[in-house]
Structure 1
Amino acid sequence: MKKLVATFLAISLLAGASMAQRKGNEELFEALYIKNKMKGALDWQLHHPKHKLYDWTNGAFYAGVSAAYQTLENENIYKAIYAMGEANRWSPGPRLQHADDYAICQSYIDMYQVAGEKRMIQPLIDSLDKFMITPYKIEGIHKCTWWWCDALFMAPPVLVKLGVTLDDDQYLKLNDKLFRECYDLLYDKEEHLYARDIRYKWDEPEVEVIKEANGQKIFWSRGNGWVMGGLVKVLQELPEDWPTRAFYVQNYKEMAERIIALQQEDGLWRASLLDPNSYPGGEASGSGFYTYALAWGINNGLLDKDKYLPVVEKAWVGLNSLIQPDGRVGWVQPIGADPRKNFSAESWEVYGTGAFLLAGSEIIKLEE
């Protein structure tokens, strides 16, 4: 009886937190508002291009653009993705086995599913044919093909999406192998977070231990955001009866449970997850990917709505506080390999916009 009362009280408190979060912020959760904010951020970013179009940064951005197209159903967005693909000749980046150079191909497959033009995915197929027969050179910190956690957003969604699209499970099997290698190398089973690479692992004898100022392990917010975004994109595509699906679900749920405990009072996450005081500004790209991943979990029944909805709503309010008057997504940490990069309201990057667009594409579904 006492346990039932305690459970009821906990649910009531969470429901109250959700209602309190919405009070005064109702507009932020209206479909028209969300669409307008997504359109404003997208328009600003398309008018301020950055990096080579096949770059991993644009891979993340155009993943958001594809989500915006599905949400806004605007023909001009379709044309923007098509123009990007044409400019890239629908090809991955030049590095055969580097996950970053495949991230942009997520959008190629999305376009192929709409337009049905095989040329949109043929260069990807050709590259992966070579990839699968080319031995990977293991050296230094490169302990496996995907030796840094960000890779789990870049390539796994491409392999799984292509495999399902072509009904060819060789790509799904390749993803299982390479994803598991990265998991075994970098996933901290106590913290339920990923080290960026082995330089940030405490149990790696070959490297010197790097700690945060407060003595905690270094877990980079954006890096773990990439992973959660990648897990969502894998689970979106992976067949329900795929033999290893339970592994991805468990990894996703463990990370979700840990991430919500690290959310800060403003609804955002700090650049270093375990040392928020050293990086006081809420960081847009990591926070955007968490908002996207958690909202998707609610929308698809993997996460308990009573528990996670207040977190997601608080995060969405926080994310909107980072949008500048011209539509630009501010407070985005610059490119780097760890949290130690300063950023401000003036800091922007294309992947920050991509994360915001992905988040909006799931937030808008919460009331459906």
Structure 2
Amino acid sequence: MKHLKNIRLIVLAILSSAFFINCSTAQNPIYNQSIEESMIKALEWQEAHPIMALAPTDWTNGAYYVGVARAHKATKAMMYMAALKNQGYWNNWQTFKRLHHADDVAISYSYLYIDMTDRRRNFVDLEPTKKFIDAHLYEPDAWKEGKDKSAMGKTILWWWCDALFMAPPVINLYAKHTKQPKYVDDMHKFYIETYNQLYDKEEHLFARDMRFVWTGSKKDMKEPNGKKIFWSRGNGWVLAGLALLLEDMPNDYKHRSFYENLYKEMAAKILSIQPEDGLWRTSLLSPESYDHGEVSGSGFYTFALAWGVNNGLLDKAKYTPALKKAWNALADCQHEDGRVGWVQNIGASPEPASFDSWQNFGTGAFLMAGSEILKLDNQ
């Protein structure tokens, strides 16, 4: 592991030098070097400080490398592609092992991106991704069959809202890459189950799981201010996932309007509750519970809303000021050495963060946000 880390750092250092030489000669008059420099610093620090919850192929790395892929797509800086190829190669292009669990295929977004972007050397093995997707969608398990009666509501495949970032964009991208639209239809079937179970049509937000869905009972979980509990990062997962889905979904797909409408509805809600300092709190309807900004949820929102402006789904004049405020606040959360702080730890509900708290998926959210903020002035 130490040998691999040293190789990674050497490669990144070489590519970083080349990147900044190229930046200094860029001719694009709207090129924003400070944003790209912040993104590169975040990548360098994260690559030098690997972390995982379960394994190199787990969801935390999956989300981080989605950010790396989006950063490469926006900038074409080879430093990002080097990091992507390095992790894919040493992962042997594997997913994680729980074939029924959406989290464990998130890493495949990066594999698909590499294969679609640089196919000259037939570098990527997508067979493990195909094996996972086929088992995930078509093989029976306890959740699909409604046999797990826990309080979280594990009676559908994607019973927690985070899942809508982890698996659907991968399945959708796989369908696009392999030209097999049947996978989109099967993805949609399970997405609708989650929507019907967890989406609050009054608040236009997702409950994290069934524990937080209001039923009208006195036992319903609520914030001290009496409002429903909506977790920032949980809804960030959903909104960022919707942007990824819409980017790769065929324009003429029969259910596309459902995803566009859901995206716009959530986007309007998220904009309406943005705090004055630019960063969303971990509890969306009770910002006073933890009265400080949080980077992972805010990074996903910044990415998703900027994507909507850049792709004509959201009004530029209405959203751009809020997005620039959000990015400036995100940038202020980055340490001098590149580490991205103020990231809530792994969890399933609103909790506090701190200047020193970090996670790789928080860096991924930061990179995703920067990748779309870079494009704002092009519109």
Q: TM-score, normalised by structure 1?
A: 0.89
Which aligned segments of 4 or more residues in structure 1 are displaced greater than 6 angstroms?
Answer: none
AA matched with 1:286: G
AA matched with 1:83: N
Among candidates 105, 121, 127, match of residue 126 of structure 2: 121
Asked if 1:39 is matched to 2:50, the reply is no
Q: CA RMSD in A?
A: 1.5
The answer to whether the 8 A contact 2:105-2:166 is kept is yes
How far the C-alpha of 1:320 sits from its partner, in A, is: 1.2
AA matched with 1:335: I
Alignment-derived partner of residue 255 in structure 1: 266
Asked if 1:145 is matched to 2:146, the reply is no
How far the C-alpha of 1:69 sits from its partner, in A, is: 1.7
Unaligned runs of 5+ in 1: 1-28
Q: TM-score, normalised by structure 2?
A: 0.87
Alignment-derived partner of residue 360 in structure 1: 370
Distance 2:231 2:268 in 1: 17
Q: Deviations over 1:286-331 (max 9, x none)?
A: 0000000000000000001111111111111111111111111100
The answer to whether the 8 A contact 1:198-1:204 is kept is no
Asked if 1:194 is matched to 2:206, the reply is yes
Alignment-derived partner of residue 174 in structure 2: 162
Moved more, 98-107 or 68-77: 68-77
Alignment-derived partner of residue 135 in structure 1: 140
Q: What SS does structure 1 have at the residue aligned with 2:367?
A: helix
Distance 1:110 1:284 in 2: 25
Correspondence 1:196-345 to 2 at 5 A: 196-203=208-215, 208-339=219-350, 341-345=351-355
Distance 1:190 1:315 in 2: 25
How far the C-alpha of 1:204 sits from its partner, in A, is: 7.8
Unaligned runs of 5+ in 2: 1-29
How far the C-alpha of 1:118 sits from its partner, in A, is: 7.3
* Percent sequence identity over aligned pairs: 48
Q: Deviations over 1:3-45 (max 9, x none)?
A: xxxxxxxxxxxxxxxxxxxxxxxxxx95111110100111111
The answer to whether the 8 A contact 1:284-1:333 is kept is yes
Alignment-derived partner of residue 24 in structure 2: none
The answer to whether the 8 A contact 1:284-1:331 is kept is yes
Decide whether aligned partners of structure 1 residues 118 and 125 sit closer, same or farther in structure 2, where only a CA change above 3 A counts. farther
Q: What SS does structure 1 have at the residue aligned with 2:334?
A: coil
How far the C-alpha of 1:115 sits from its partner, in A, is: 3.1
Alignment-derived partner of residue 188 in structure 2: 176
Asked if 1:83 is matched to 2:86, the reply is yes
The answer to whether the 8 A contact 1:111-1:120 is kept is no
AA matched with 2:377: E
AA matched with 1:352: G
The answer to whether the 8 A contact 1:199-1:208 is kept is no
Moved more, 73-82 or 283-292: 73-82
Alignment-derived partner of residue 10 in structure 1: none
Alignment-derived partner of residue 105 in structure 2: 102
Distance 1:199 1:82 in 2: 39
Q: How many residues align?
A: 338
How far the C-alpha of 1:268 sits from its partner, in A, is: 0.7
Distance 2:158 2:92 in 1: 25
Distance 1:124 1:118 in 2: 14
Distance 1:50 1:39 in 2: 18
Distance 1:178 1:359 in 2: 27
